[in-house]
Amino acid sequence: MSIRQRRMNNGWSQSQLAEFCGLSLRTVQRIEKGQKPTMESLKALASVFETNISALISNHEIDESKLTEQETEALKHVRKMKRFLLELFSYIVIVPLVCLATWIFGHGIIWGGLTALVWGILLAYDALYIFDASDFLGSGWEKRQLEKRLGRNIQ
């Protein structure tokens, strides 16, 4: 059960919860919006809810059965982005090691470079797909950047 659900089950407002556990209202709001609480905040919340800290922490998983179709699609996209970022991190760590190993063991750097090139091409293709770069630097990109900078939609 989330902190918000626990608070609502007790019939408390965010202000009341903040007062009961000695946190600021803003801290309670941030925690309920998904910001990770500090250990001190968790201790205070656990005390007020008369539970242990692990019961409050274990509630960061998403219940996919309650998601709308749009939210499910967004979650799939976020997971693809996460997979890509983990693969990119692996690339950044492993490719220099492979290049170093091929150079040290006398095979020349060509095999390490070839590995880096092929893996890099696959990563670039994946990035284009995940980050929807089909309109990269086109008119649609210009409009999105302008709207982003202005903070509003334009016609």
pLDDT at residue 61 in the model: 62
Q: Are 48 and 84 in the same domain?
A: no
- For residue 62, being part of any structural domain is answered with no
Looking at residue 101, its pLDDT comes to 85
Question: Could you read off the pLDDT of 119-133 as tens digits, one per residue?
Answer: 999 999 988 888 776
Do 74 and 134 lie in a common domain? yes
Residue 105 maps to a domain: yes
Identify the DSSP state of 152: S
49-57 LR contacts (CB < 8 Å, sep 24+)? 49/3, 49/6, 49/10, 56/3
Average pLDDT of the chain to the nearest whole number? 85
Query: Residue 132, SS3?
Result: coil
Structural domain count of the chain: 2
DSSP conformation letters of 75-111? HHHHHHHHHHHHHHHHHHHHHHHHHHHHHHTTS-THH
Asked which of 47-51, 70-74, 103-107 is least confident by mean pLDDT, the reply is 103-107
pLDDT at position 110, please?
Answer: 79
Query: Is there a single domain that holds both residue 82 and residue 127?
Result: yes
- For residues 46 and 52, give the distance between their C-alpha atoms in angstroms, rounded to a whole number: 5
Q: State the sign of the Cα–Cα–Cα–Cα dihedral 120, 126, 131, 135.
A: positive
Average pLDDT over residues 57-85: 81
The whole-model pTM stands at 0.50
Residue 116: which domain range?
67-150
